[in-house]
A and B are shown apart, each in its own frame.
Chain A
Amino acid sequence: MVINFRRFVIVLTVVWLGLFVLVPHVLVLLTSVMSPDPQHLAVWPLTLNSWGRLLEPLYAEVFWHSLWLSTLTTAICLLLGYPFAYIVAKLPGVWRGLLLFLMIVPFWTNSLIRTYAIKLILGNKGLVNSLLLASGLVDEPVQLLYTPFAVIFGLVYVLLPFMVLPLVSSFGKLDGTLLEAAHDLGAGFWQRFRLIIVPLTMPGIIAGSLMVFLPAMGMFYVADLLGGAKNLLLGNIIKNQFLVVRDWPFGAAFSVALIGIMAVLLWLYFLANRRINRAGGLDDESF
């Protein structure tokens, strides 16, 4: 009975994953090597043309720009999230719970709606510019919307919790006695930070960075609403190929390339994590 139930659960999972993960991916991969056709989306014969187009300078430029936006977003999230996570992890239980809760509350509103809200705040007649004008700091509205700043602002806002949560977990596991030991052995604040805190929270830093970086490459609606035509993410290109240009094979090739980048990063994360865990003898439960 128990064995039958177990088999049932396993089969169900395998079928589910096969149907909704494997098959779609195979279809996307297949589409990427088909020929484009505006009428029928993708047609035979098989060709590597779309893959070849990935190397065109235009797309390479967009690719690097997107990578740059995502990297900057990740760096800013880390800069903001690291001290925040440290403080949260050091607080007594009740406060820690409350702060994490407050951090998650905005998730109850659709992020698309929240991104529209940012658009209103950053617009030429938005809150920020109204305040700047009223205070007399500027004479005419500052262009905030449709800049790389706006895109990064939006991405950081949406993705910050993904940086904070793994970091809080890492800080929670950091043994305070180790810091006292370092203190005792003559290490000042920066030495304790550099030699003890950072290495021991590295799993959280890597996990948080990936959880920000990977979605940051694909969040096309943030770039759509806040970035205008010039600040595209990889996700925007894919979306445009599918919905605007209707070149499905090329969009599919881009998708597969993005999945490939993510897979490589996750693999590197796995390697780094294993190395850190082996080196540090830290437990592995939260990753």
Chain B
Amino acid sequence: MTRSPILTLSNISKRFASQEVLSDFNLTIQDGEFFTILGPSGCGKTTVLRLIAGFEQPNEGQILLNGDDIARIPAEKRPFNTVFQSYALFPHLTVFDNVAFGLKMAGVDVQDIAVRVADALAIVRLSEFATRKPHQLSGGQKQRVAIARAVVNRPKILLLDESLSALDYKLRQQMQLELKQLQRQLGITFVYVTHDQEEALSMSDRILVMHNGQAQQVGTPREIYESPRNLFVAQFIGEINVFDGEIVQALGEYQYEASINGVVREIRCDHRFAVGDKVHVMLRPEDLRIDCRPDVAERKGFPGIVLERSYTGQTLNSHIELENGQTLMAHEFFDEDDPDFDYSINQKVGVDWVPGWEHVIPAERSGKA
């Protein structure tokens, strides 16, 4: 599906007192996509959202909505609505009046308000709660009212600020699914801010990973997870094992031999390297293979011992210490043919991976992982 940009943040700087939160920040959001801004707390992601919403003004730069600069337009005049982390439902108004608030402000006539509020409440399955007050609702219901209150105005962009973080795990998963469905159903652009990488991966069309006010990488969940551009992204999104290596020989375009922990292996990557370049060879825990054959001679991969193993239901997660002291994580699915599949602590094993499953980036630091 081809999409056109709906919102562009261009060369945005934002300072609070003397602290620079964003500098020369750029971002383009496509019409109709579920876009997630992901990062640890304090990375500036909420500031980006507040700049879009109009609660903050940038010190420099433009915010372009379909080409028009809206950086100086006040929040109440922007065609965006926000779902707040704390929901921010008006405690003195009923569910109906909360949802109707934006329409009343826009001067929609009473009959239309009734119809549209009823529709919005039906979408979030709260029709029979219209006369309740917010304090009579559960967390998940408040969340839905907050969503209904925002989407009823048919915003061009819906902004969601860590909107699921106050819910418990089960409800959060359910709401993730509902949000995604809602987004598809309404066709509205969603900009979702979160620090939860699992949430980001499962809901988004594209993800922006932020750190220290800098965009680290923009891409689809798959690109972000499988081809992280730097160590921060790799380590922030899920778990990853990082081997330090050095390019020994070029075998062809994007194909090299690298020395990893003293062993020379063939690697494939999407960078060009010169011989002698230091690299990070990264592997997700589920991409590692553990060879536990008793015969040392037959065993493949890097030798190590099992430090710890934990059973998670779906997978067996092992911590393995290599001979050089580096600790790896490996997640293996259970094999139905082998119900007793397990390791013992201190068992000697070999750690390997299928050639080509590694992801290689230029080294950012020296020394062991």
Co-assembled chains A and B: yes
Interface of chain A: mostly helix, strand, loop or mixed: helix
In the complex formed, the residue of A with least CB distance to B146 is: A181
Q: How many A-B residue pairs have CB under 8 A?
A: 69
| A38 on the B face (CB < 8 A) | no
Kindly report which residue of chain A lies nearest to residue B149, judged by CB atoms.
A185
Candidates B76, B106, B136; contact of A183 at CB < 8 Å: B76
Chain A residues contacting B53 (CB-CB under 8 Å) are 184
For A280, list chain B residues within 8 Å (CB).
Answer: 91-92, 133, 135
Among A180, A185, A200, A281, contact of B101 (Cβ-Cβ < 8 Å)? A185
**Chain B residues, Cβ within 8 Å of A180:** 55, 75, 82, 84, 88
Interchain CB contact under 8 A, A182 and B135 = no
Complex: A278 Cα to B149 Cα, angstroms: 22
Q: Which residues of A contact B101 (CB under 8 A)?
A: 182, 185, 187, 195
Over the window 118-143 of chain B, the binary record of Cβ atoms lying under 8 Å from chain A Cβ atoms (1 yes, 0 no) is 00000000000000011110000000
Q: In the complex, A282 Cα to B80 Cα: how many Å?
A: 29
Give the total of A residues in contact with B, Cβ under 8 Å.
22
**Beyond known contacts A185-B76, A196-B90: 12 more, CB 8 A cutoff:** A178-B90, A178-B91, A180-B55, A183-B55, A183-B76, A184-B55, A185-B81, A186-B76, A199-B92, A276-B92, A281-B134, A281-B135
Contact B133 A185 (CB under 8 A): no
Give the chain A neighbours of B81 by CB distance below 8 A. 184-185
**Which residues from chain A contact B8 at a C-beta distance below 8 Å?**
none
Complex Cα distance A191/B102, Å? 11
- On whether the beta carbons of A186 and B90 are closer than 8 Å, the reply is no
CB-based contact A183/B75 at 8 Å:
yes
Q: Write the nearest CB–CB distance from A187 to chain B, whole angstroms.
A: 5
Q: Shortest Cβ distance from A136 into chain B, in angstroms?
A: 46
Q: Mark B73-95, 1 if CB is under 8 A from A, else 0.
A: 01111001110101011111000
Show 8 A/B contacts (Cβ-Cβ < 8 Å), sorted by A: A178-B90, A181-B89, A184-B76, A185-B76, A185-B81, A185-B101, A187-B105, A199-B92
Contacts of B74 in A (CB 8 A): 183
Which A residue's beta carbon lies closest to that of B79? A186
Residues of B within 8 A of A178 (CB): 88, 90-91
What separation, in Å, do the CA atoms of A117 and B261 have in the docked complex? 89
Q: State which size class the interface on B falls in.
A: 20 to 34
- Shortest CB-to-CB span from B35 to chain A, Å, is 18
How would residues 58 to 80 of chain B score, 1 for a CB under 8 Å from any chain A CB and 0 otherwise?
A: 00000000000000001111001
Is B153 interfacial (CB 8 A cutoff)?
A: yes
Q: What 1/0 mask marks residues of chain A from 171 to 190 whose CB sits below 8 Å from any chain B CB?
A: 00001011011111111100
Tell whether A279 pairs with B133 under 8 Å between CB atoms, given A178-B90, A186-B106. yes
- Our pick among A177, A188, A195, A196 for the contact of B84 (Cβ within 8 Å) is A177
A185 vs B53: C-alpha distance in the bound complex, in angstroms? 11
Closest to A176 in B: B88
Q: Which residues of A contact B (CB under 8 A)?
A: 175, 177-178, 180-188, 191, 195-196, 199-200, 276, 279-282
Contact check, A282 vs B91: say whether CB atoms are below 8 A apart. Answer: yes
B91 is contacted by which of A186, A195, A200 (Cβ under 8 Å)? A200
Are the CB atoms of A281 and B91 closer together than 8 Å?
yes
Interface centre among A186, A196, A281 (most CB of B within 10 A): A186
A181 and B91 in contact, given A187-B105, A281-B133 (Cβ under 8 angstroms): no
Decide yes or no: A177 and B102 within 8 Å by CB, A186-B153, A279-B133 being known contacts: no
Residue of A nearest to B134 (CB): A281
Docked-complex contact B88 and A181, CB < 8 angstroms: yes
Interfacial chain A residues near B86, Cβ < 8 Å: 175, 177
B105 touching A181, Cβ below 8 Å: no
Q: How far is the CA of A177 from the CA of B80 in the complex (A)?
A: 16
Closest CB-CB distance, B107 to chain A, in whole Å? 9
List of A residues within 8 angstroms of B133 by Cβ: 279-281
Minimum distance in angstroms from A189 CB to a CB of chain B: 9
Chain B residues within an 8 Å CB radius of A191: 105
Report A-chain residues with C-beta under 8 Å of the C-beta of B75.
Answer: 180, 183-184
Q: In the assembled complex, how far is the CB of residue A148 from the closest CB belonging to chain B, in whole angstroms?
A: 37
Known contacts A177-B86, A281-B133, A281-B134; A185/B105 CB under 8 A: yes
- Docked CA distance A242–B291 (Å): 104
Q: Which of A184, A195, A279 has the most CB of B within 10 A?
A: A184
From known contacts A182-B101, A281-B134, A282-B91, infer whether A187 and B76 are also in contact, taking CB-CB under 8 Å.
yes
A178 to B55 CA separation, bound complex (whole angstroms): 13
Residue of B nearest to A282 (CB): B91
Cα A282 to Cα B134 in complex, Å, equals 11
- In the complex, residue of chain B having the shortest beta-carbon distance to the beta carbon of A178: B88
Q: How far is the CA of A199 from the CA of B153 in the complex (A)?
A: 24
Which of B55, B84, B105 lies at the interface centre, i.e. has the most chain A CB atoms within 10 A of its CB?
Answer: B105
**Closest CB-CB distance, A160 to chain B, in whole Å?**
27
The distance in angstroms between the C-alpha atoms of A276 and B92, with both chains bound, is 8
Q: What are the residues of chain A within 8 A of B134 when measuring CB–CB?
A: 281
The 3 closest A-B pairs by CB, nearest first: A281-B135, A186-B105, A185-B102
Which residues of A are found within 8 Å of B149, using beta-carbon distances? 185
Could you say which residues of chain A place their CB within 8 Å of the CB of B89? 181
Chain B nearest CB: distance from A285 CB in Å?
Answer: 15
